[in-house]
Amino acid sequence: MGRVPCCDKVGVKKGPWTPEEDIILVSYVQQHGPGNWGVLPTKTGLRRCSKSCRLRWTNYLRPGIKRGNFTDQEEKMIIQLQALLGNKWAAIASYLPERTDNDIKNYWNTHLKKTMKKLDQLDQCHGSNDLFSLENGLTHLSSSNSSTSRGQWERTLQADINMAKKALHNALSHENPTSPHNYIKQENPQVSSTTTTYASSTENIARLLQGWMGSSTSSTNNSESSKTSSNNIATTDSSSCDGTPNAESKGEMGLMEAFESLFGLESFESSSSDELSQTATPEAETEVLKIEIKREENEHDVEVPLSVILENWLLDENTLNIQPKNDLTTLISFDETPHLF
DNA sequence: AAGCCCTGCAACCGCTCAGAA
DNA sequence: GTTCTGAGCGGTTGCAGGGCT
């Protein structure tokens, strides 16, 4: 006896959302913030189930969603993250804050899956491809023999991690000079150089209001809603200069943290010198210190491109030689979805 | 021009998990 | 400890639009 689906209620509308429904939903979220989806339909009179409202918000109306084609950078990140995390679309999406898990999932299913298949076939014929050997190298991670002893499993894991690092390094070293750090930056030359592709917080809402409510956009109502929006929703207005980190910097910081978490820097910090020094070689210890120094430099607004940090880490043979225990910690940190906001 | 097929994407469904009662 | 409910996630479906015959 399964649970009665929330959308089975009589009078609950299904299917595509109308602009009017979107506006109702957006204005509710502007006033009350996202959450409390359960009461939303009754309070707004929307004939939609709470789940549908949440989905519509998170996948479409939420500010900061980038739509349109995926860049090469994004594509590579998705491929690499999918190889590392599997079909954890929400986790993958947290590393691409401009994209929703649904978008990434769709993109994977419609584009990348096929590409990977083709490349897999090519790979079998012509040897390994740098980028895709990463995925291939890790695929047996999830399917490893359950009867394998813990020690064996850890050794396999260590081998997999090393293989992944090398493959990732190869992939990164072959790509164009645009670093993941730069990728965050807006490509629109018309706007100031610090503007991000991360859409303005009110962009989606304004689009709704302007597009569908016509000439009333200049009304006080709109400015009021924008104000409300900036209170309730993380603003990405690059012109903000009040000293508080705007969404752009938040986004960058978030991405940096995400990368650090993904590639184990965070775990280096958390396990840090004490624990690490007990098991790691002196060389590895030195490298950990180097990484920590780099982190401190970053914290003091010395802009070290993320790609440099990544490459340093990837190229770092000593890091590769750190005992399995530590890399296991590193891997475990992969599962911890970073909170970007 | 009409019909068919393919593709991309928005939305739904079923499930799990966490927190409150 | 159990039940209920809301939130979130991943897989799947259905529809619209474009391309091809």
Nearest nucleotide from residue A12 CA, by C1' atom: B12
What per-residue confidence (pLDDT) applies to A232?
35
Give, in order, the Cα–Cα distances in Å from A236 to each of A27, A92, A184, A221, A308: 19, 22, 13, 21, 26
* Average pLDDT of chain A to the nearest whole number: 54
Check if residue A35 sits with its Cβ under 7 angstroms from strand B: no
Q: Using the structure, give the distance in angstroms from the CA atom of A1 to the C1' atom of C4, rounded to a whole number.
A: 16
**What is the C-alpha to C-alpha distance for residues A71 and A76, in angstroms, rounded to an integer?**
9
List where CATH 1.10.10.60 sits in chain A: 10-61+201-234
Please determine, looking at this structure, whether the domain spanning A10-61+201-234 carries the CATH number 3.60.110.10.
no
Q: Residue A254 in contact with residue A198, Cβ under 8 Å?
A: no
Check if residue A76 sits with its Cβ under 7 angstroms from strand B: no
Nucleotides of B under 7 A from a protein CB: 7-16
Long-range contacts of A170-177 (CB under 8 A, 24+ apart): A170/A130, A170/A131, A170/A133, A171/A76, A171/A80, A171/A130, A171/A131, A171/A134, A172/A307, A172/A310, A172/A311, A172/A314, A173/A311, A174/A130, A174/A131, A175/A72, A175/A73, A175/A76, A176/A72
Q: Using the structure, give the distance in angstroms from the CA atom of A18 to the C1' atom of C13, rounded to a whole number.
A: 20
**What is the C-alpha to C-alpha distance for residues A43 and A41, in angstroms, rounded to an integer?**
6
- How many CB atoms are located within 10 Å of the residue A147 CB? 7
Nearest nucleotide from residue A60 CA, by C1' atom: B10
Nucleotides of C under 7 A from a protein CB: 5-12, 15
**What is the C-alpha to C-alpha distance for residues A101 and A89, in angstroms, rounded to an integer?**
5
Q: Residue A184 in contact with residue A198, Cβ under 8 Å?
A: yes
What per-residue confidence (pLDDT) applies to A10?
63
Q: Using the structure, give the distance in angstroms from the CA atom of A107 to the C1' atom of B9, rounded to a whole number.
A: 9
Q: Which residue is associated with the tokens 């490893």?
A: A144
Which portions of chain A are predicted below pLDDT 50?
1-5, 128-161, 164, 167, 171-202, 211-341
**What is the C-alpha to C-alpha distance for residues A286 and A270, in angstroms, rounded to an integer?**
16
